[in-house]
Amino acid sequence: MFAASNLRSEDQFLCSICPDVFADPVTTPCGHNFCKKSFYCRPLLKVNTLFSEVKARRSSSEQQAAKPGEVPCDICTGTKLRALKSCLVCLTSYCETHLEPHLTCKGLKRHQLIEPVENLEGRMCTKHDKHLELFCKTDQTSVCTLCSVLDHKTHEFVPLREESEEKKTELRKMDDEIQEMIENRDIFSWCKSAMNSPLTGTAASECNTFY
């Protein structure tokens, strides 16, 4: 009895055309429910809000909870899911489910979405309350567009993202150089140790190879 009841419960979320679990479920004027993508020549359809909400909850359960070091969704209650994007207008990070309005609503589509980051407030200009979009090479500081016109008028600017990528490249190069220095130091220490001990022909030969 329980198994049959559970099967019926699952069946009501299956599209009779696909057949698969509802994706963007819609209702025809006669009251039948289908996936929106199943209609190539579509009649007037109404969004099935009840099934859409159930689908959103099912999707949420399949998403990953934020792990240490990952940016959590600011909207999730209870278990915080991993954020997919951060909005520089809302100053909020969103998981896949809560990001949906930014992808579908006309007004929210204009918002600037970036890869999920923490401390979104730190990306705002404290003086003009606008996004920090530029980097002033003259003063070596991040600025907003108003800062560039009012306070840094004659200075040299580049997009903040471009400067960030350049700094990352420099850091990677510096890291490679440090690793090379460490390796050379280890080789030098080995040769020095070998020189202070009774040298064999092989050890002397290896030292001559390095230096």
Give me the percent of the chain exceeding a pLDDT of 70.
Answer: 61
> What is the DSSP pairing of strand 134-136 with strand 141-143?
antiparallel
Instruction: Please enumerate in sequence order all residues whose Cβ is within 8 A of that of 128, keeping only pairs 6 or more positions apart, or say none.
Output: 144, 146, 147
pLDDT band at 3 (very low <50, low <70, confident <90, very high): very low
- The pair of structure tokens assigned to 6 is 């559970």
pLDDT digit string (tens) for 109-128?
888 888 888 888 878 888 88
Q: What is the pLDDT of residue 129?
A: 81
From 91, 99, 141, 98, select the one nearest 120 (Cα to Cα): 91
Whole-prediction pTM value?
0.43
Task: Write down all domains in the chain, each with its CATH number in brackets.
Answer: 1-61 (3.30.40.10), 63-120 (4.10.640), 124-171 (3.30.160.60)
Instruction: Please enumerate in sequence order all residues whose Cβ is within 8 A of that of 80, keeping only pairs 6 or more positions apart, or say none.
Output: 65, 66, 72, 73
Q: What is the pLDDT of residue 48?
A: 66
- The pair of structure tokens assigned to 90 is 């809302």
